[in-house]
Structure 1
Amino acid sequence: MAIGVTMSLFTGTIVDLETRPRHLMDLTVRDARIFHRVFWSFPACVEAFKYCKPVVQIDSTHIYGKYKGTLLLAITQDGNKNILPIGFAIVEGETLGGWTFFLRNLRSSVTPQQGICFISDRHESIKSAFRSLGREMSAPHAYHVYCIRHISANFMRRFRNKEMQRIVVNIGYSKTIQDFNYWYGLLRDNDEEATRWLDNIPREKWAQAFDKEGRRYGHMTTNLAECVNSVLKGTRNLSITAMVKSTYFRLAELFVRKGVQVQAQIASGLIFSESLMKAIQENQQAASSIYVRQFDREEKSFMVDEMSPPQCGRQASTFRINLRSHWCDCGAFQTLHFPCRHVLAACSHIRLHWEEYVDNVYRLQTVFNVYHKEFEPISNKGYWNPYNGPRLCPNITMRRPTKGRPKSTRIRNEMDIREGVQRKRCGLCRNEGYSRRNCPNIAGSSTRS
């Protein structure tokens, strides 16, 4: 039976260490425990998440070194598209128990807010963990959705068709029901079995058009977690304590650097983040070709015509806008939580300030609050309080074999499948079926009978 120990270190670090009894023959060793799982997060990350987008991407990556294990990660993003890890765990693998342990600690200690959107792949252990946690990880307290990149990879493994895979991605990224139906119709015309395969996945879990309240903030993949995986690649072969220290010092440096950058931007007079202003400028350029046909100033409702029809197959060029409900027919306004080109055209037509229709997460003051809390410095180890608990031992069954040829660290999955892989050709004559070593066309020595 595993025993969980929750503690707060001198730096305020949130730690949940789970151990198991150690047995020697048939006897239980009282002064020793076997390491099983550990979760950790930092107070600055907990405080920072309050000012980030209410979106958390979760993913896993293998750790290397003497012992096996899996590193679980929780990643979020601020209003200036900066990536911020907020929770870590080392578990025995992608099991139901490991994911439940991680999500329970993440929910209770780091992300207790209502309506958080969690994005992950469709691994059975993750889905089972969300179900096992019950009310705290289900709507309206939390929302679990899927990564479209993993869905398209699973689709590719099943149907092996690059063109249909591209259509599936476009279906997922469609912001309106009309666009969704257009791409869905193309897929159905190609292969009805493919559409039946997609219908087995709830649309609100993977299609942006069915994200009515914009909980995803435009995030359709777990790419943020993949980026952190690559950053921690040089750390994953270290011991657990070294990994914890690495995350501590890297995040401490990140908070200082980003905090200084945002403070300088505020001092220069900027109100919104650079990423938002870049998007607004692009939308303002596109808004020059939009004509406001009619409007109701009191109800703040508009009807606009776009001179050039938008891409992605949509035929209509007339859009309805309601500023009170933050709604536009194009879907971008409610999805991204800042004005689209149609809203900017409507606001410009009646001299309204578009700034009031921007979500607070994109304001520089909010971004500054993300990095406002500092990491406490670590004191000299000689001043730490003495530890009087049981001795912690590694799990011998998780130890990697030391003999034999080392295995490649590259773990291939269905995303590595390539369509239409050609057979190997001879390097000399370029014919298939043999190599240059046994090529029948190679020049050899002649003998006389």
Structure 2
Amino acid sequence: MDMFKLLCCQNQEDKFNAIWKELDKLTRAHVTEMSKKLVSDDNPKVTPGLPALGEGLDDPSVRRRRARNIKCFSHWIEAEPKEKWALLFDTLGARWGIMTSNLAEVYNWVIRGLRGCPLVGIIEGMLYGIIKYYQKRHAAAILHSTKVQTPFCDKMYKWMEKAISKASQHIVIAMGTHDNRFEITVRAKGGVGRETTLVTHEVNLG
């Protein structure tokens, strides 16, 4: 599940494919091991597989494999549209980088202390709570920008510091004289299912 969550959040195709390949390898090995265990238990009639996804998810007309026919991760996920679960395929920007679907807990946090109120009171409480939240965040951002002399809030500033630190380890070569094109070679590193390698990107600021 941790690897699947990592797969969902990838925004680079090579990393996405590498994790997918590793998931296929691990799930095949798991099914094979379960097969051997069942045979050793003298129960060859049961064919092991991965737990199937429930019927009627989103589109009731979609036909999914039964558990006994699911031998790897690809078989398990093949009928599910990638744009609905993978950040890499969110081409229309519907997810905005947000991968959680636990919206019920979010609303529980918003209306805490309001559940016993009439409906009008709940709506007003949510409205004033959201206004107070934005005012508080705005005040914190203004205070930070006054102290650090930056137009960004503290969280964004820390993210940028981390990105700048990572970028300082890259090799940058200007490619051209008039257009802002650069060749960026990232530091050698390994990844899930990948050998240690150098990766080069082209960045065109124009």
Normalising TM by the smaller chain, what interval?
A: 0.5 to 0.7
Note closer, same or farther for the CA distance 1:299–1:199 as it changes in structure 2 (3 Å cut). farther
Note closer, same or farther for the CA distance 1:244–1:169 as it changes in structure 2 (3 Å cut). same
Cα deviation, residue 281, structure 1: 0.8
Cross-structure match for 1:304: 184
Output the amino acid matched with 1:322: V
Output the amino acid matched with 1:222: S
Contact 2:175/2:182 (CA < 8 Å) preserved in 1?
yes
1:319 lines up with 2:191 in the alignment: no
Alignment of 1:16-31 (within 5 A): none
Please identify the structure whose Cα radius of gyration is greater: 1
Cross-structure match for 1:274: 154
Output the amino acid matched with 2:189: P
Contact 1:303/1:318 (CA < 8 Å) preserved in 2?
no
Note closer, same or farther for the CA distance 1:166–1:265 as it changes in structure 2 (3 Å cut). closer
Tell me how far apart the structure 2 counterparts of residues 272 and 314 of structure 1 sit (CA, whole Å): 36
1:243-292 C-alpha deviation (Å, 9 max, x unpaired): 12321332232243233333334444321222222111112222232122
1:283 lines up with 2:163 in the alignment: yes
Cross-structure match for 1:331: none
Cα deviation, residue 306, structure 1: 2.4
1:313-334 C-alpha deviation (Å, 9 max, x unpaired): 4544222132337xxxxxxxxx
Cα deviation, residue 222, structure 1: 3.1
1:291-318 C-alpha deviation (Å, 9 max, x unpaired): 2255234332222222331544454422
1:394-429 C-alpha deviation (Å, 9 max, x unpaired): xxxxxxxxxxxxxxxxxxxxxxxxxxxxxxxxxxxx
Tell me how far apart the structure 1 counterparts of residues 157 and 125 of structure 2 sit (CA, whole Å): 34
Q: 1:209 aligns with which of 79, 84, 88?
A: 88
Which structure is higher in strand share?
A: 1
Question: How many equivalent pairs are there?
Answer: 161
1:198 lines up with 2:198 in the alignment: no
Contact 1:308/1:317 (CA < 8 Å) preserved in 2?
yes
Note closer, same or farther for the CA distance 1:294–1:255 as it changes in structure 2 (3 Å cut). closer
Contact 1:289/1:306 (CA < 8 Å) preserved in 2?
yes
Alignment of 1:90-169 (within 5 A): 165-169=1-5
Contact 2:183/2:203 (CA < 8 Å) preserved in 1?
no
1:242 lines up with 2:78 in the alignment: no
Is the partner of 1:296 in helix, strand or coil? coil
1:224-245 C-alpha deviation (Å, 9 max, x unpaired): 6633423423322432122123
Cross-structure match for 1:220: 99
Tell me how far apart the structure 2 counterparts of residues 225 and 265 of structure 1 sit (CA, whole Å): 32
Contact 2:110/2:129 (CA < 8 Å) preserved in 1?
no
Contact 1:173/1:220 (CA < 8 Å) preserved in 2?
yes
Tell me how far apart the structure 2 counterparts of residues 276 and 297 of structure 1 sit (CA, whole Å): 32
Larger relative contact order (CA 8 Å, sep ≥ 6): 1
Is the partner of 2:151 in helix, strand or coil? coil
Tell me how far apart the structure 2 counterparts of residues 278 and 225 of structure 1 sit (CA, whole Å): 29
Tell me how far apart the structure 2 counterparts of residues 237 and 253 of structure 1 sit (CA, whole Å): 21
Q: 2:112 aligns with which of 223, 233, 238?
A: 233
Tell me how far apart the structure 2 counterparts of residues 274 and 224 of structure 1 sit (CA, whole Å): 26
Output the amino acid matched with 1:286: K
Is the partner of 1:264 in helix, strand or coil? helix
RMSD between superposed Cα atoms in Å = 2.8
Tell me how far apart the structure 2 counterparts of residues 270 and 225 of structure 1 sit (CA, whole Å): 36
Tell me how far apart the structure 1 counterparts of residues 162 and 169 of structure 2 sit (CA, whole Å): 13
Note closer, same or farther for the CA distance 1:310–1:233 as it changes in structure 2 (3 Å cut). farther
Tell me how far apart the structure 1 counterparts of residues 96 and 190 of structure 2 sit (CA, whole Å): 21
1:123-174 C-alpha deviation (Å, 9 max, x unpaired): xxxxxxxxxxxxxxxxxxxxxxxxxxxxxxxxxxxxxxxxxx2222122112
Which structure is higher in helix share?
A: 2
Query: Could you tell me the percent identity over the aligned residues?
Result: 20
Cross-structure match for 1:185: 21
Contact 2:187/2:198 (CA < 8 Å) preserved in 1?
yes
Tell me how far apart the structure 1 counterparts of residues 101 and 166 of structure 2 sit (CA, whole Å): 30
Tell me how far apart the structure 1 counterparts of residues 162 and 119 of structure 2 sit (CA, whole Å): 46
Output the amino acid matched with 1:243: I
Is the partner of 2:115 in helix, strand or coil? coil
